[in-house]
Amino acid sequence: MSTVTSQILYSADIEAVTKLKNNLKNGRAWVEIDLDRLKENFRKVKEWVGPDKRILVAVKADAYGHSSVAVSKALAVEGVSVLGVASLEEAIEIKRGGAGVPVLILSPSSFIEIPEIVTEGFTSTVSNIEYARRLSGVAGAMDRKMKVHIEVDTGMGRTGVNYSGAADFIQQVCELDSIQVEGIFTHFASAEASDKTFALEQLKRFTQVLEDLRSRSVEIPMVHAANSASLLDLRESHFNMVRPGLVIYGMYPSKWVKRQIDVRPVMTFKARVAHLNSIRRGETVSYGRTYTAPKDSTVAVVSVGYGDGYSRALSNKGEVLIRGKRFNIVGVVCMDLTMVDVTGHPEIRVGDEVVLIGRSGEEEISADELARLSGTITYDVTCSVGPRVPRVFIKQGKAVRVKSLVGVEEL
């Protein structure tokens, strides 16, 4: 019997024991992924953009920490058009997972990956003519025609062909024998900002590229620019396909983005009280002795740390929820454990559920709140949840499947 299990039994917390029996691997820390909320958010986006628009959902970085295979399969049922990833490995994982939806590798691929990309039939992003030529050569040798999307750099300053020469570049790619230019896209640098001036300038540059292509009788089937922020704030950026990520997972890109649709968070991050420690006034807590107890105190040791993706930046300033109440983190967040001050709350016991992201009673801690406290962005908070944290998939309020380091288990 594990230490956490025995502690819960000793606490006589029947509710905690019952929950733990559902999956003993969930005794430490876990995230719950509400697949019904995911689908609901997708439907709301679909309604917002209209039936004539395709939807490409970004499922890179393990679907922002939500588990790419489970998310992809759920969205496939809802009619997602394309799934967007960052690497060949991510594309392979999704294909093997059985989503059955076209996969676009949004980031540049290396030359050595070309044979496998052709074999697997993935769609590449192209912004380098040498890559396009090599892709065409390998595809031709295999008697295949490969779909590609052209990325146009309109001001991101990252990847993509510069907008000033994009039309000439695209025409060259279109002339390659074994290449079909299926899509064209750009990426906004600051669509989530309060000032949309530069986003509108990027949109103007991208639109000019499209007009230049039309003047050359080059028509590209899929045109996309709208990420979550511009999907909500800039309807003129929708074209015939949108490319949301964060909003599908129930979060908003920034406080300046209008809440045009009401989405709900898909992820809840939880842990347990692993130990209760009585410390005297003047004693210190955790590494570096950054917290000194101002009085005799009770400290709950929570079974989560930065090794799980719970940020060390939350040391001495973050909060958690236990039994519907907020409690302050004290001391430095450790790799595997975090301490919180629960002084004056004798009802708290070993085995109690601790909510790190999500709701408990009337209280809620959002990923956005953790991002602000950590000095980062919401994307970083959910993407950081590590692989040793099991993903528990929820349907109709019940856990139906668990994905952990030891495999996938149906419940």
Report yes or no on 132 lying in a domain: yes
Q: Please report the pLDDT score of residue 25 as a whole number.
A: 42
Report yes or no on 315 lying in a domain: yes
CATH code for position 385: 2.40.37.10
Which pLDDT band holds residue 371 (cuts at 50, 70, 90)? very high
CATH code for position 134: 3.20.20.10
Q: Tens digit of pLDDT for each residue in 40-61?
A: 999 999 999 999 999 999 999 9
241 and 328 part of one domain: no
Q: Tens digit of pLDDT for each residue in 303-323?
A: 999 999 999 999 999 999 999
Q: Tens digit of pLDDT for each residue in 126-139?
A: 999 999 999 999 99
The three-state DSSP-derived secondary structure of the chain is CCHHHHHHHHHCCHHHHHHHHHCHHHHCEEEEEEHHHHHHHHHHHHHHHCCCCEEEEECHHHHHHCCHHHHHHHHHHHCCCEEEECCHHHHHHHHHHCCCCCEEECCCCCHHHHHHHHHHCCEEEECCHHHHHHHHHHHHHCCCCEEEEEEEECCCCCCCEEHHHHHHHHHHHHCCCCEEEEEEEECCCCCCCCCCHHHHHHHHHHHHHHHHHHHCCCCCCEEECCCHHHHHHCHHHCCCEECCCHHHHCCCCCCCCCCCCCCCCCEEEEEEEEEEEEECCCCEECHHHCEECCCCEEEEEECCCHHHCCCHHHCCCCEEEECCEEEEECCCCCCCCEEEECCCCCCCCCCCEEEEEEEECCEEECHHHHHHHHCCCHHHHHHCCCCCCCEEEEECCEEEEEEECCEEEEC
Q: Which of 249, 275, 291 is the last residue of a domain?
A: 249
64 and 207 part of one domain: yes
179-186 vs 222-224, strand pairing mode: parallel
198 and 313 part of one domain: no
211 and 300 part of one domain: no
Q: Which domain holds residue 305?
A: 265-389
117 and 212 part of one domain: yes
102 and 240 part of one domain: yes
Is 60 labeled as catalytic in the residue annotation?
Answer: yes
Residue 156 assigned ligand-binding role: no
Residue 235 assigned ligand-binding role: no
**Among residues of the chain, what percentage have pLDDT more than 70?**
94
125 and 163 part of one domain: yes
359 and 218 part of one domain: no
201 and 282 part of one domain: no
Which is the catalytic residue, given 19, 53, 60, 270?
60
Q: Tens digit of pLDDT for each residue in 231-251?
A: 999 999 999 999 999 999 999
User: Does the model's pTM come out above 0.85?
Assistant: yes
Total tally of structural domains belonging to the chain: 2
Question: Is the Cβ–Cβ distance between 54 and 83 less than 8 Å?
Answer: no
319 and 275 part of one domain: yes
220 and 280 part of one domain: no
Report yes or no on 20 lying in a domain: no
Question: At residue 12, does pLDDT exceed 70?
Answer: no
Report yes or no on 206 lying in a domain: yes
220 and 306 part of one domain: no
Which is the catalytic residue, given 21, 255, 287, 317?
287
Report yes or no on 333 lying in a domain: yes
